[in-house]
Every structure is written in structure tokens, then in C-alpha cells.
Amino acid sequence: KAGVTQTPRYLIKTRGQQVTLSCSPISGHRSVSWYQQTPGQGLQFLFEYFSETQRNKGNFPGRFSGRQFSNSRSEMNVSTLELGDSALYLCASSLTGTGANVLTFGAGSRLTVL
């Protein structure tokens, strides 16, 4: 069974640019959640999508957005990049996102903003 796949694994952008990251969940999983991880702030929740709808949102500015497609694949976008957006971006998938379901994480996309 394939795991959660995140692409690209590494990318470098400059301030002001935008970036799109992709997450392919485990087959059959309908919930995808996104996280930002930095050394100072730890693992921070960005948003969760279920059946193409954003179901939950963390405390991030509107420059961070996402979407989910009918095949449950998800993308997140960060516009007008800032130096502070440099981080490891992780996604996790679960069957339906309920408490009994386990979260399975991808390896992450490491973004460096110069």
C-alpha cells in the first residue's frame, strides 16, 4: 500500500514569489491535513480538507490556501512568500478524519525562501 506522497521534496524560492505543494493521500483516505514545521514554532496546523471542502483551519494568514480534488489529492499554495515561510511543510491523510482514524504523514516538502 503506497504511503502519503508529497512533491516536491525540496524547493527554493525568493521573497514575493508563490509556491504550490502537492500531497497524494493513501488510496481511500478522504481527509488531508497540512502542517508547517519550523525549529522555533514546532508543528503547526494549517488546514484540513475532507471531500473537497475545507473542514478546519489553523491560525495562518490568508496567503496560505489550499484545495482538495475529487480524487482526494490536495495542494497548498503560499503567495507572496516571506523569509519566515521557510519551513518543512507536512501533510497527513486519514480515512475520514475521525478520532478512531490514524493520521499517516508524508515525508514533507522543505521550502527555503531567499
Partner 1 sequence: DAKTTQPNSMESNEEEPVHLPCNHSTISGTDYIHWYRQLPSQGPEYVIHGLTSNVNNRMASLAIAEDRKSSTLILHRATLRDAAVYYCILRGMYSGGGADGLTFGKGTHLIIQP
d(CA 57, CA 69): 18
Q: Does 22 interact with partner 1 (rule: CB under 8 A)?
A: no
| Residue 66 touching partner 1 (CB under 8 A) | no
Comparison of 48 and 85: residue with beta carbon closer to partner 1: 48
Local structure of 1: helix, strand or coil? coil
Per-residue cell: 96 = 475520514
70 binds partner 1 (CB under 8 A): no
Per-position DSSP letters for 46-102, written without gaps between them: EEEEETTEEEEE-S--TTEEEEE-TTS-EEEEE-S--GGG-EEEEEEEESSS-TTSP
**From the list 18, 107, 112, 114, which residue makes contact with partner 1 (rule: CB under 8 A)?**
107
The yes or no reply on residue 36 touching partner 1 (CB under 8 A) is no
* CA 21 distance to own-chain centroid: 7
Q: Does 31 bind partner 1 (CB under 8 A)?
A: yes
Residue 60 sits in the site that holds partner 1 (CB under 8 A): no
Contact residue for partner 1 among 12, 43, 83, 114 (CB under 8 A): 43
> Which residues of this protein are in contact with partner 1, per CB under 8 A?
4, 31, 33, 35, 42-45, 48, 55-58, 90, 92, 94, 97-108
